[in-house]
A and B are shown apart, each in its own frame.
Chain A
C-alpha cells in the first residue's frame, strides 16, 4: 500500500483560519469535558471524599490496568439539559481490566446521590448495548440512590430493560461483574441480583428491596440497613454477594481478580500488521475538516492522518468519485473505509454497496467517515434510479455483518445519514467531531423550503405574503434547526457514543475496533434483494 500524498499546506491562510475556528470548537469540547469530570462539583465531591470514599472516576482509574486505555463513552450525554447533571449521572466506557477489554460503568455518586434520570437511563442502556454488541464483559461500579423519583414516569417502564440485558448477556456467555459501593436498592437491587459476579464493600453496600422505613410501614418489622442488606449479611447469609470486600480498594481489586480469571479470549480475527503512525501530523486535521460544513474538504487528507503510515489502497478511484472507498490498516488492523467526498450519486452509491459486499465477504471491519449533504436530486437523477441505487447502499449497510464504526466528520443530512451507517443502522460505535451538523436537511434549505411552501399556500388562498412575518418565521426556524443540528446537541441527545477531538480519531477508532474484535467477525454474502 502506498501513502497518500498530501496537498495540505499548513501555511495557507484558509488552512489557518479553519484551524483557528476548529480549535475554538475543540476548546469548547475540552471545557465541557472538564466540567463533566467535576461530577457534582466541589461541595459534593469533598463531602463524598470526607466519608473516605473514592470518587467514581477514581474507582475506574483503579479498576483499569495502570497503563491500559479507557475510552469514555457519551461523556456529554444530557449536556446542557436542564436538571441533568454531568454525564447524566453515569460514567461509562471501554477500558482494559486485567488485560481484558471491558465495558465499565460507574454511578456518579456525587450527582444527586447517583440517582438515575431519563438521560442516564438511555446512556446506561446504550452502554449495555455496546457491551452486548461487541461481546465485552460488563463491570458495574454501583452507588446509586435509585430512580430520580420526581421523574420516575420517564424511567420506570423502559428501565426494566437494564436487568433483562444483564441476564441475556449472561445467557450468551458475556459475564457481568458488579461491585456495590453504596446503595443499590429497590429495582437497583437487581443489578447485583442479576450479575454473574458480585462484590460488596463492607460497611458500605446497602442492597435491599425496601429500606427500614418501608419495611416498618409494610410489616411493622423494625430493622436497620446493615441487618437488612449490608455486605456482611449478603456475603454470609443471603448469598447475594460472592465476595466481601474489606474496603473500596479491596472491592476494585476483587473485580480485577474476577476478570483476570474469566478465561477470556477475543474471538475476532482480522489481518494484522505492525502498526505505524501516520506520515502526517493528526494536528493538521483541525485545518482540514471544515469548521463550516458548507465548505467541502478532501477525505483522503483525513484518511492520511488516521491510518497506519497514511497508506491507503483505494477502490474504484476513478468511478463514483464522491464516495472514497479503500483499505488501510489502523493501529495494525485491516479495515475498509468509506468516506464522503461530496453528494451521493448513483455511481457512488453502487460503488459503496459493492465495497461493503467485498468487505463482508472477506470479514473486514468497516469505517464510515460521514460528511454528507444527501443524495443527488433532480429529474435526471431520479430517472437514473438514484432511489434504487441509494437503496442498494442502504441494503448493504443494513445487512452488513462485519463491525461498523462511524465518524461524523462534518455534515450528515437526509438519507445520506442512513446510507453512511448513521445511528439507526447499528454501527458498533459512532463518534462525532465538534464541527458536525445533523438534520433532515441544512437550516438554509429548510428555511428555503418553508419559504416556498408558505408562498405557494398563500397563493392558493389568494392572499398576499406577509414578508416581514415570513422572514421572522424563517429566521426562527433557521435558529432552531441550527441549534438542534449542532454536534453538542447531538451528543447531549445520545445520537452518538461520544464527541471527540478530531486529532484523537485514529486512537478512538483503534480502541473501538479492538473492542469490536472481541466478538467473532462473521463474513456474509447474504443480502436483501437488490433492485437492479
Chain B
C-alpha cells in the first residue's frame, strides 16, 4: 500500500516533529485537532487539519472513528500515531488496516502481545530474555507464597495483583519479615481493592532504567540503535534521558542489545520500538516491557546516530527494507534530553496551567528544541503538561550537560510555572556529574523542600531595574508631544518618577530618571542610585549596563504583569498603579433613602450583624420597590424608620457600626 499523504493522529510537540519529517520527505500532511487545539501550532503547520471533537481526549484524540473519518475525508493513505493516545492501541492498528490506511507502527499482533505485561514477560522469558523473577500464580496459600518467595530471594516486593498506586505494596528484606508482610499486604489489598491476591517480584534496589531502541522492517530485519538511560523520573514519568548510559560498558551493552534484538525478533517487530530494562547495581538486567511506538526521548538517539527515526518508520511503512544495517549504526558523542513540563516542582510536581507569556530559547550550538507551544499559547488541563523537549548533543557528557544547562538557563518561559529551573539544579548536582543516576534520584537528592527556586535578592533587585527601564523605553516610543525631549523633563526636579513593583509578597519602589539616549539613573528603595544604559535592544531583549555590569534581560509584559529573565534567572513582577483601585462608594455607616418614598419593610433589627450587600430596608418610591442594602459589613446600631413611614431623600434609615 503506497501512500503520499500522512495524517498525524496526535498533538503538541510530537505532532510537529512527525510533520517535520513528513514534509521533508515530500509527503502531504494532515493534522487533527480538538476544540482546545483549534489554534495549536501543529494545526497551522499541517497542509490540512480536521476537527475531531471537544477537548477531552476521550472525545477527540482517542476516537478511532473520528480519526479514520478524517483520513478518509482528506485521502490520507497512512496514519502516524505519535506516542500516547492511540499509538499502542491494537484495535486502532486493526481498524486502520480494515479501512485500508497504513498504520505507521508495528503490527497489531505485536502491539497486542506487548499490551499485557504478564504475557509480555512470559514471551520474553521463553526466548531467554531475562525477566524479573517473580510469582503471580493462582495458588495464594501462605505456604505457596512463602516457598515462591524463598525461591525468588530477598529483597522482594509484595504487590496486590489487582493493585496500583503503591497500595498493598511492601518491600521484604529478610525471611523473618515474610509472614507478617504477607498478612499485612493481604489486608491492605483487601481494603483497597476488595481482592487480597498478591504477586511477588524480586525487588531491585537503586535500579537504573535502561532502554534500547529497536527498528524492524517487514523483511525480517531487526536492528538496535543503542541504549538510552531514563532513570531520572518523578511521578513515574521520565524527565531527563541520555545516551549513552554511563552504567554500560561495551560488554554489558552488547549483552543487553542482544536481548533487545531477540525481543524484537520474537515479536517479528516492524517499525520503531523500545525494549525497556531495569539494571541493578550488580549489572544484572531484567526485561520490563516493550513500547511499541516512537518513544518521547527518541531525539537523543537521533542526535548521536544521525538517523531520523520517523523517516525510517515511514520507509518501513512503505514496505521498504531498513536502509541501515547494524554495522552502519555507530553512535558518536553524547546526547541529553530534558522534558519541560508545565508543573510546580515546589508542589509535588503537580501540573500547572495558564497562558504562556514568553517562550524563548536563544540559539545555541548543539541544541535541538522539540516544542509543542509558542508564546501566547494556553496550557490547558486537558492534555499531558509536557511543553517541549530540550535536547543537546556534544562530544562528551560533560559538554552536553554544560550546553543543556546553558540552554535551560537562558530560556525564558513565563506565565506558566515549569520545571525549567529545577532541571538546571538537577543537572548541576554532583550526583548527575558522577553519573549516579537511579530511579530514586529525585527523592534522594531533591526532597520536596529542596525543589523550589532559591531566593535571590540580587536577581530580584536587577529585575526591578530592568523592568523599570524596559517600561520607560516602551513609553519612550509612544510619546507624541516633543518626542525629542528627554522623557520626564524637569527644569526644577523634585523627585524622580517612581514605579512600585510587587514581587510575591514584597513591594519595591524604583525611582528613575531618563537622561536621554537610553541612559537612566535608577534608584531601588533606599539604595544608592545606579547609572543604567540600554546598550542594545532587540524586541523584548534588552542588553543593559547596570552600574558597571552589562548583561541581557528579557522583559515581557502582559498588562501589569511583567516577567524578567536575566543571567540570574527569572523574576515575576506586578507593576503597581500610581492610582488606587476603584473602591465602591460605601456610605459611611448609614443607609440613606435615595429618593422620597414610603418604607414598606424593615428587614433588620438593632444589634444584628449584617454582611455587605445584605438587604436592610425596602422602600416604595415612584411606583417601584427599591431594596436598600448594607454598604458594608457591620452591626445595626439603630433602625430609624418603620414600615409605612414616609421618608425624605437622604433620610438615614438604618445606621451601621463597624463590626
Measuring CB to CB, which residues of chain A are less than 8 angstroms from any residue of chain B?
33, 36-37, 57-58, 61-62, 66-72, 75, 96, 99, 101, 236-237, 244, 246-247, 249-250, 252-253, 275-277, 331-332, 498, 500-501, 504, 507-508, 510-511, 514
| Smallest CB separation, A447 vs chain B (Å) | 36
A275-B485 Cα distance, complex, nearest whole Å = 9
Is A514 a contact of B489 with CB atoms below 8 Å? no
The residues of B that contact A514 with a CB separation of less than 8 Å are: 481-482
The residues of A that contact B497 with a CB separation of less than 8 Å are: 61, 66-67
Q: Contacts A61-B495, A61-B497, A250-B579 hold; do A67 and B481 have CB atoms under 8 A apart?
A: no
The residues of B that contact A70 with a CB separation of less than 8 Å are: 489-490
A507-B489 Cα distance, complex, nearest whole Å = 9
Is B491 a contact of A67 with CB atoms below 8 Å? no
A69 touches which of B482, B494, B585, B650 (Cβ 8 Å): B482
Main secondary structure of the interface of B (DSSP, over half): loop
Measuring CB to CB, which residues of chain B are less than 8 angstroms from any residue of chain A?
472, 475-476, 479-492, 494-495, 497, 514, 578-580, 583, 585, 650
A246 touches which of B481, B483, B488, B583 (Cβ 8 Å): B583
A244 touches which of B484, B580, B585 (Cβ 8 Å): B585
**Contacts A252-B579, A275-B483 known; 8 new A-B pairs at CB < 8 A:** A67-B472, A69-B490, A70-B489, A249-B580, A253-B579, A331-B482, A510-B484, A514-B482
Is B578 a contact of A62 with CB atoms below 8 Å? yes
Is A36 a contact of B492 with CB atoms below 8 Å? yes
A-B CB contacts (within 8 Å), total count: 89
A89-B475 Cα distance, complex, nearest whole Å = 33
| Smallest CB separation, B210 vs chain A (Å) | 59
The residues of B that contact A101 with a CB separation of less than 8 Å are: 481
Is B583 a contact of A331 with CB atoms below 8 Å? no
Q: Contacts A67-B514, A246-B583 hold; do A61 and B494 have CB atoms under 8 A apart?
A: yes
The residues of A that contact B487 with a CB separation of less than 8 Å are: 67-68
A33-B480 Cα distance, complex, nearest whole Å = 29
Closest A-chain residue to B475, C-beta based? A67
The residues of B that contact A37 with a CB separation of less than 8 Å are: 492, 494
A501-B486 Cα distance, complex, nearest whole Å = 16
The residues of A that contact B480 with a CB separation of less than 8 Å are: 99
Is B580 a contact of A508 with CB atoms below 8 Å? no
The residues of A that contact B486 with a CB separation of less than 8 Å are: 507
| Smallest CB separation, B388 vs chain A (Å) | 38
Is B494 a contact of A57 with CB atoms below 8 Å? yes
A236-B585 Cα distance, complex, nearest whole Å = 13
| Smallest CB separation, B243 vs chain A (Å) | 54
Can you list 7 A-B pairs, Cβ within 8 angstroms, ordered by A?
Answer: A57-B495, A66-B475, A70-B490, A99-B480, A246-B583, A275-B483, A501-B491
Is B585 a contact of A246 with CB atoms below 8 Å? yes
| Smallest CB separation, A103 vs chain B (Å) | 15
The residues of A that contact B495 with a CB separation of less than 8 Å are: 57-58, 61
B488 touches which of A58, A68, A247, A250 (Cβ 8 Å): A68
The residues of A that contact B485 with a CB separation of less than 8 Å are: 69, 331, 507, 510-511
The 7 closest A-B pairs by CB, nearest first: A275-B484, A69-B489, A67-B487, A253-B579, A57-B494, A33-B492, A67-B475
| Smallest CB separation, A94 vs chain B (Å) | 10
A253-B580 Cα distance, complex, nearest whole Å = 9
Closest A-chain residue to B592, C-beta based? A236
B491 touches which of A58, A72, A276, A332 (Cβ 8 Å): A72
A72-B491 Cα distance, complex, nearest whole Å = 6
B489 touches which of A62, A277, A511 (Cβ 8 Å): A511
Q: Contacts A36-B492, A67-B476, A72-B490 hold; do A99 and B579 have CB atoms under 8 A apart?
A: no
Is A71 a contact of B580 with CB atoms below 8 Å? no
Identify which of B482, B489, B491, B495 gathers the most chain A CB atoms within 10 Å of its CB. Answer: B491
A426-B585 Cα distance, complex, nearest whole Å = 48
